[in-house]
Structure 1
């Protein structure tokens, strides 16, 4: 219970002789964190349970860098070529917050401050809960007496020279964000300026480094904390971009809730954040199979492309026919053909996805019925004049579209009815596109303006699809989004990185997309992939074989592996991209990469369980694993794929070797057996066909049988499905003497490998050759490879198995009978 504060508080300490003046200092502590505030000038800090200060407010460095601040900013919206691009251009004439504070309320774990300013005050409250500190900043003033109310608040903090920042959603131009100002506002993708052209205020065009489809106002700090700006209004961070010794958080709203999570381990902060905002969704098992855009009319060697994949033994699970059910009803008149195509694909072990967005065309004839229904029932967002809000869209033909009002329950139900059209034809899901086009001046059914709704709209769109599919296709669907915000991960099976430039473009091509995926992972969104070979073909750089294969390699180690065939260029230029069947080498490498990805399905499923339980991503930037190692903070092109793999894909043109930093530990090249010991930097060969992937010593990698064709069921007997190979599992591990590795599969099977015995301790096992090791039971094959001894050991078929070979004990214990084919890389 709160109570008024007397002049002298038990928690207040008077400290003397501070710059010749007395300072009042107040504290809150719960044993896990401590909040300490000086009242004049107002300045606060947050300490961890060890007494170390992790965050210190700025005090009163200058007018804009005061601990707590507020102002009025006149909104101004620029005209952009695309309405999906951010248009905000407001300017504040100055900050009006005060310098000194008084305590007005206090409990054992909360405190409220009043900070008088010019023509008003700021009410600043703090609450402690475990390791979480929640701060609410509320502006209560006007620009001048009787003038416009304050509509913008700010918090400013000291910036130590060694502090660095990560996360903030899918950011394409940086991983360490120090030195940048970045706003949170989902928008249409930008235009890059070419390979090797660094980021800048206009690269990408038109709004620079902030541009993203999927912002998340949550970041991790190298100082042992994370912060979440809990609002759906526009926010912006200034990480030392205004002055080198300070950073600021600001919200374009009169009130901001800021949550600070205090943990030395950033994974623990991610755990707290995902618990507060919704745990990530666990996809259906087949979602981890590769996806490719393909129609029934595409022929390869005289047969439909989907048949060519099966004939050539190229693993593929999902076909995306890009049928645009919205905004203009492409399917009308083709229903029977599409239903038959879905049935044919299901027979051959494919899942079929189409295309949706939350829009209805205002100009194309195909949408006439939907358009008239939506207008008659008041189911569209309105503009400032009360008319149906209209935005230009270039998807499915150039057109004006209306946005379904998803704050209206009737609008949600109608949108779900429109999505049922695809399910009724046998589709298994769809690309769930767009969501960034809500204009700031629009009005919604629930009374929100577009400025209030814009960031939340992609979440509402994803939730509508999620709720429909969970009800009608439980555990058996895929929809994937590009736009998102806080909460999206709770609803979506997958996220794809939007519409990249199909080159090594620095801010919109392959290097940028990998940055985006790593950043998104550091904000609790685990299931990510990118358009293999890109979508746009706007620059003069070649969309060639090297781009294609390097992107295929990145796709192989992305949880969501998906390929795009478009080479979009609205100028009409005749542009073409490399493709899977362009030459024999490409087909061979593509098949190897899709097979590797498909075989990792048991691994991905376990990682998705871990993400759901703790928010930890599947693609893990080295900062998450080694937060105190400064040499990993600047890494932009290497990551841990779960605990067992470290991968360093090539994302720039012309490389046949690249430098790799290996953090603390030992790593074995998965293909060649070469051992790397960290921490160290070394040069690794990377010919075009090489995806650098390293086994982490002391970890396990479970894999499906290499004959797998698809992760979907099939009625065609020649297609190899998970059901076909359910009685066998390959497990790869790297073990040093004295080490143990363990892993728990999604179904609860526990796998353990221990190398603690004498080298002469072995069971009676049959020694076999290469031809038999894949099919025999209780058998072994030992060979030398690179810096390791490769020991392959096959168990018997059972729910519980144990085999010993050369001092290594290998066990499995689970609900399903399996023959475990162990592949031990024994470090010498």
Structure 2
């Protein structure tokens, strides 16, 4: 939110009062407390009248410092609050006549014990950022609303990334961002998944620990600062030291939670009925038959909204006119090796029998006057489940258990963004703070019942809305996009941005959601979609089976679906890393190459895991320009080398795109291409790419439970490449480098090849 008119003046009706000095500082063994009046104190009379901010400095874990500023403590709502880890680590505190400081790990905060106000953060003898001058304070707008505000300095050349799923430019400098979930598609400044966390290329991140609306002015109102503000009387933010972007993400996700590991079958191809299309069991069967007849591997079949009767979403009952035998249908699909996902949302239409049931039991969200909150958006007379009530959560979960017992394996948790604030929650939660937080409770309820019934390793969502902590419950998809190249680029930017907020797994609607894609768009999107963490064919008013576009679409889908299955030993290893380190499977180039300034603004290519560079083709003709970092890279699809650093301009057919392997990588490739879930270590091939003389790599081939199925050590000495199995069953395996192949039969633990 902008409060100023230019640099010097406030906007009409706006007034601000800012911390002027650290007048009083007290310390204990773990924290500093600062009383910061908003005017200079030169005599005792100055202490009469006027605000004083209470600023507490502490550390929840090493290399993280928490700043909490409060004006009126009695006006701070009790909840909800994000779940943030607090280890209370040992800290060093120093207080002298000029300044007070607190050090956690390598990160130090110092507060000047005099006017003017100055709060600075440093690591390794280098200042990262500071709050100084008119920075931390109170602002009243023209409507006399009370805001807490902070300004953190940006250095020359400093770039800002993050703030959740955003579909504009990846670098946030110059943008105004409100952290407020909304259903705005992929072509606007609104976003389904807002996360008040950003990091910069100066080696630190900032997490504003506030579940409601946080307004960010990123080098916009003041071009050399990030300003953030919240309505109310408290403001808490945490400075997270890196120094690398990967280190910052590791620490941020250690604070707020890391993703669960999705089951291996979820990485295969998902096929949907699409949204408003006409379908019944015969339609579903024709799709599944068509995929099998064309030798197209399929892992999951998804039933979108109209598996339920119109006007009755959600009543969790199959429409008897089109699905008279749902149990039998699900059994028949599962006999073909398919998993089943069904759509749901947190709304209860008035025509649903569950409306009266939920209203009578107090499970539906109410207005302050006690009546059930309703409107006619989406479903006539819809109400919302009040997920702050344990009884309501159990009621909702009970409906899902019936579907799971019937044979459903996963849920698409749609919507959850347009949550009203003129309501009263069962647990007394503040409605403004619940707006974004609602998505967390909604998805947590569904994920928990999946883990309860299927086991933690089998729980997987396909979720649209999220906020801080939502990354713990994957998978998320990018929402409603058009069926164009521009929307394909928007979706990619949104996914990369979401990964920079700790979300490890992400998907999108292959071909786009709105409209029917041109066959060329569909084929280009297929390549991108199968080189994403999760891959789903889905649309709005038209089906997404490939033969409805052209026969080449079938060939392209077969090629990339099978490629993804072969890459699963490598991809599932990257998935495990997302759960252990908080690093996303799909990584912005800046995240993986922070020292390469050419990568700072790249948002049309990405790293898939640590070692594969993917540049989706965004044109029918196949022309593409992309950047290659330093070293000799290898094109995975044809084995040719590409040398960086530098830009490449190429033309690709629909069966190709820039897919490069990082120098020195060892890619574990599986022996099967018909499904994503198999014994990855059985028959695995270790493909070695440009491994330097004297270098070695340890390669872990994951098991389906995320553990180590096999571990290999690969090294090069001169023209000899050696590999040794150090862990795993005595299954056959292979070693390949520069086209030279070595094969080990069962029980053999060493392979050596000469280049």
Question: What displacement does 1:470 show?
Answer: 1.0
- Tell me the distance in 1 between the aligned counterparts of 2:403 and 2:199: 40
| Counterpart contact for 2:160–2:199, Cα < 8 Å | yes
- Tell me the distance in 2 between the aligned counterparts of 1:320 and 1:696: 35
What is the match of residue 12 of structure 1?
none
| Counterpart contact for 1:121–1:140, Cα < 8 Å | no
Counterpart check, 1:429 vs 2:417: no
Gaps of 5+ in 2: 40-49, 76-137, 274-278, 725-730
Question: What displacement does 1:437 show?
Answer: 2.2
What is the match of residue 663 of structure 2?
697
What is the match of residue 745 of structure 1?
701
Please give the TM-score of this superposition, normalised by the length of structure 1.
0.74
Q: CA 1:229–1:465 in 2, change beyond 3 Å: closer, same or farther?
A: same
Question: What displacement does 1:250 show?
Answer: 1.3
What is the match of residue 71 of structure 2?
139
Q: CA 1:116–1:594 in 2, change beyond 3 Å: closer, same or farther?
A: same
Give the RMSD, CA atoms, in angstroms. Answer: 3.0
What pairs up with 1:499-514 in 2 under 5 angstroms?
Answer: 499-505=480-486, 509-514=487-492
What is the match of residue 625 of structure 2?
659
Question: What displacement does 1:752 show?
Answer: 3.0
Question: What displacement does 1:272 show?
Answer: 0.9
What is the match of residue 482 of structure 1?
464
Question: What displacement does 1:744 show?
Answer: 0.8
Q: CA 1:186–1:144 in 2, change beyond 3 Å: closer, same or farther?
A: closer
What is the match of residue 512 of structure 2?
534
What is the match of residue 178 of structure 1?
173
Aligned counterpart for 2:753 among listed residues 805, 809, 817: 805
Question: What displacement does 1:761 show?
Answer: 9.7
| Counterpart contact for 1:181–1:239, Cα < 8 Å | yes
| Counterpart contact for 1:489–1:525, Cα < 8 Å | yes
Question: What displacement does 1:178 show?
Answer: 0.5
| Counterpart contact for 1:697–1:733, Cα < 8 Å | no
Question: What displacement does 1:549 show?
Answer: 1.2
Please give the TM-score of this superposition, normalised by the length of structure 2.
0.81
What is the match of residue 304 of structure 1?
286
What is the match of residue 254 of structure 2?
275
Secondary structure (helix, strand or coil) at the match of 1:370 reads: helix
Question: What displacement does 1:710 show?
Answer: 2.8
What pairs up with 1:114-263 in 2 under 5 angstroms?
Answer: 114-117=35-38, 119-128=50-59, 129-140=61-72, 151-190=146-185, 192=187, 204=188, 209=189, 211-263=190-242
Secondary structure (helix, strand or coil) at the match of 2:751 reads: strand
What is the match of residue 756 of structure 1?
717
Secondary structure (helix, strand or coil) at the match of 2:746 reads: strand
Question: What displacement does 1:173 show?
Answer: 1.0
What is the match of residue 686 of structure 2?
731
Secondary structure (helix, strand or coil) at the match of 2:496 reads: helix
Alignment: residue pair count: 652
TM-superposition CA deviations, 1:278-330 (whole Å, max 9, x none):
12111112111110114664669xx7221221222111100012254542445
| Counterpart contact for 2:684–2:734, Cα < 8 Å | no
Secondary structure (helix, strand or coil) at the match of 2:556 reads: helix
What is the match of residue 401 of structure 1?
382
Question: What displacement does 1:252 show?
Answer: 2.2
Question: What displacement does 1:740 show?
Answer: 2.7
Secondary structure (helix, strand or coil) at the match of 2:18 reads: coil
TM-superposition CA deviations, 1:160-201 (whole Å, max 9, x none):
230101111111112111100101111102474xxxxxxxxx
| Counterpart contact for 1:218–1:227, Cα < 8 Å | yes
| Counterpart contact for 1:187–1:437, Cα < 8 Å | yes
TM-superposition CA deviations, 1:125-164 (whole Å, max 9, x none):
222453111111212399999x999631111122223010
Question: What displacement does 1:576 show?
Answer: 8.2
Counterpart check, 1:373 vs 2:357: yes
Aligned counterpart for 2:645 among listed residues 664, 675, 679: 679
What is the match of residue 327 of structure 1?
314
Secondary structure (helix, strand or coil) at the match of 2:689 reads: strand
Question: What displacement does 1:425 show?
Answer: 1.8
What is the match of residue 454 of structure 1?
435
Secondary structure (helix, strand or coil) at the match of 2:220 reads: strand
| Counterpart contact for 1:136–1:258, Cα < 8 Å | yes
| Counterpart contact for 1:526–1:608, Cα < 8 Å | yes
Secondary structure (helix, strand or coil) at the match of 1:391 reads: coil
| Counterpart contact for 2:205–2:241, Cα < 8 Å | yes
- Tell me the distance in 1 between the aligned counterparts of 2:463 and 2:168: 20
- Tell me the distance in 1 between the aligned counterparts of 2:721 and 2:647: 36
- Tell me the distance in 2 between the aligned counterparts of 1:762 and 1:797: 15
- Tell me the distance in 2 between the aligned counterparts of 1:279 and 1:357: 24
Q: CA 1:578–1:352 in 2, change beyond 3 Å: closer, same or farther?
A: closer
Counterpart check, 1:791 vs 2:747: no
Q: CA 1:479–1:779 in 2, change beyond 3 Å: closer, same or farther?
A: closer
- Tell me the distance in 2 between the aligned counterparts of 1:92 and 1:580: 61
What is the match of residue 93 of structure 2?
none
Q: CA 1:360–1:526 in 2, change beyond 3 Å: closer, same or farther?
A: same
| Counterpart contact for 1:217–1:228, Cα < 8 Å | yes
Q: CA 1:634–1:732 in 2, change beyond 3 Å: closer, same or farther?
A: same
What is the match of residue 103 of structure 1?
24
What pairs up with 1:816-827 in 2 under 5 angstroms?
Answer: none
What is the match of residue 577 of structure 2?
610
TM-superposition CA deviations, 1:451-477 (whole Å, max 9, x none):
121111110011101211111111234
Q: CA 1:344–1:710 in 2, change beyond 3 Å: closer, same or farther?
A: farther
Quick check: which one's helix share is greater?
A: 2
Secondary structure (helix, strand or coil) at the match of 1:115 reads: strand
Deviates most, 447-456 or 684-693 = 684-693
| Counterpart contact for 1:310–1:709, Cα < 8 Å | no
Aligned counterpart for 2:330 among listed residues 334, 342, 354: 342
Counterpart check, 1:631 vs 2:619: no
Q: CA 1:669–1:607 in 2, change beyond 3 Å: closer, same or farther?
A: same
- Tell me the distance in 2 between the aligned counterparts of 1:316 and 1:779: 27
